[in-house]
Structure 1
Amino acid sequence: MTAPIVEFNEGFSEPGAGPVPWADVDDLLTKSEMFWLSTVRGDGRPHVTPLPTVWLDNILHFCAGDQEQKTKNLLGRPACVLTTGTNDLHSGVDVVVEGVAERITDHARLVELAALWKSKLDWDYVVGEDAFGDGAGRTGLVFGVRPRKVLSFGKNPYTQTRYRFA
């Protein structure tokens, strides 16, 4: 992925502030363990849930049980939003990732992702033919979200920056 187009929003930023550099956002996506996934149910109601993620090759990956509400939502309406950051008002950076969730079924990629989940989060997944298992008979579908747009909200100073991808 080429570097995103950076659009700093002065109207929602403190005077004299500048954009959060993409390298800092990329680092936050790499290091953050928990995100909030927002999806839409079949009847149009929102659904939000926390889950761990892995940022690899500019794609945000997560696993969801094959019977979970978020999985049902994504299989029907794959557009979603993932957010991470801090609950502090005066420090840190919050990030919003908008994109479309796609199932990851390539076995080699699943093996690579399972190793990252283990090293980053100490989670053990059994890699199946096209999904993860937990060793107890439950299946986890793996999804990847390639960002279409990312927003960052700096909080010291307050800033808003949009990163657009081709």
Structure 2
Amino acid sequence: MTISTGTLDRRYSDDSATPTPWAEVMAILDASQVYWVTTVRPDGRPHVTPLIAVRLDDRLYFSTGPEERKAVNLESNGACVLTTGTNSIERGTDVVVEGTADVVSHRALLERVADAYRDKYGQEWSFDVRDGRFVHTAAGGEALVFGITVDTVFAFVKGDAFSQTRWRL
């Protein structure tokens, strides 16, 4: 996800606002500890839940148990939204990532994602790779790993100059 300039939406931006730099958005995605994923239930209703995630190359990755609601939803409809940011209206930047998630099972990639989890979240989030899934090193539970192919990214800046920047990938 290497992009230089997004499009500032003047309808939702102060007159003095400028597009948020792509590098700033990537730094927010890399530094965030908690994300919210929105998936679509089979009956069309949304489902939202917090989780942890990592960014590698051009995708964002998260894991979940195969029976969890988000995994079941993504099995029938890969459309999802991943969000992160601040819960303040006065400051900060919120990032919204729209895309399609699919199960990752390639061993070498899963090992890279597992390394990224350990690097970002510490040994508590240590996974072994077995049979195309994560297995929690200490607790033993299995998890599917999903990678999001990103379509659109929004950055909502709050503070002195509110703005909304959009990138289509």
TM-score, normalised by the number of residues in structure 1: 0.95
Q: Counterparts of 1:131 and 1:32 in 2: how far apart (Å)?
A: 24
Aligned residues: 165
Q: Counterparts of 2:149 and 2:71 in 1: how far apart (Å)?
A: 17
1:134: which partner in 2? 136
8 Å CA contact 1:90, 1:155 repeated in 2: yes
Change beyond 3 A, Cα 1:4–1:142: farther
Q: Counterparts of 1:106 and 1:121 in 2: how far apart (Å)?
A: 22
Cα deviations by residue, 1:78-111 (Å, 9 ceiling, x for unpaired): 0000000000111110000000001111101111
CA RMSD of aligned residues (A): 1.3
8 Å CA contact 2:37, 2:51 repeated in 1: yes
Structure 1 residue 5: Cα displacement: 5.8
Structure 1 residue runs without a partner (length 5+)? none
Give SS of 1:29's match.
helix
Q: Counterparts of 1:21 and 1:42 in 2: how far apart (Å)?
A: 37
Give SS of 1:44's match.
coil
Q: Counterparts of 2:58 and 2:65 in 1: how far apart (Å)?
A: 23
2:77: which partner in 1? 77
Q: Which amino acid aligns with 1:162?
A: R
The alignment status of 1:116 with 2:119, answered yes or no, reads no
The alignment status of 1:155 with 2:154, answered yes or no, reads no
Give SS of 1:95's match.
strand
Give SS of 1:74's match.
helix
Q: Counterparts of 1:111 and 1:2 in 2: how far apart (Å)?
A: 23
Identity of aligned residues (%): 43
